[in-house]
């Protein structure tokens, strides 16, 4: 009985080690992002680098429609930030819209996608 118990423990240990190495190797597997993922990454990068929203602690969130038919960008104020004036709100929305249109127009497959930019306080 004790031999059976040791064999069972050895089997469980082997399976645990084999399973964990499989999941670690999965992180190194090649992966090609979808166009929606690529567009989301491109938009977030451009918005953070070019629209100067981070200086005011405004975080962009990008949502691509379920079938890739639209792009929605929501600008969100960080916690405990003072509300923006109407003119500042419009300015940040215009900056984000300009940057997003530039990114959308840089790819033939995203050119002309409907774009909505909103700021939530």
Predicted local confidence at residue 22, as pLDDT:
55
* 35-120: CATH number: 3.30.70.1350
Convert 61-89 to b/e letters by CB count within 10 Å (16 or more is b): ebebeeeeeebebebbbeeeeeebeeeeb
Q: Which residues contact 72 (CB under 8 A, 6 or more apart)?
A: 62, 63, 65, 115, 116, 117, 118
Q: What is the mean pLDDT of the chain?
A: 83
Predicted local confidence at residue 66, as pLDDT:
83
Comparing CA positions, the residue from 93, 89, 86 lying closest to residue 115 is 93
What is the pTM assigned to this prediction? Answer: 0.74
d(CA 38, CA 89): 27
Predicted local confidence at residue 99, as pLDDT:
96
Question: Per-residue pLDDT for 16 more than 70?
Answer: no
Question: Per-residue pLDDT for 8 more than 90?
Answer: no
């Amino acid at each position: 009985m004790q031999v059976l118990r040791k064999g069972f423990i050895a089997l469980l240990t082997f399976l645990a080690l084999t399973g964990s190495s499989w999941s670690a190797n999965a992180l190194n597997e090649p992966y090609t992002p979808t166009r929606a993922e690529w567009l989301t990454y491109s938009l977030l990068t451009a918005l953070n680098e070019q629209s100067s929203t981070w200086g005011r602690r405004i975080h962009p969130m990008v949502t691509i429609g379920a079938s890739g038919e639209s792009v929605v960008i929501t600008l969100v104020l960080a916690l405990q930030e003072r509300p923006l004036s109407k003119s500042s709100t419009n300015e940040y929305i215009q900056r984000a819209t300009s940057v997003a249109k530039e990114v959308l127009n840089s790819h033939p497959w995203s050119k002309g996608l409907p774009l909505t930019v909103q700021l939530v306080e």
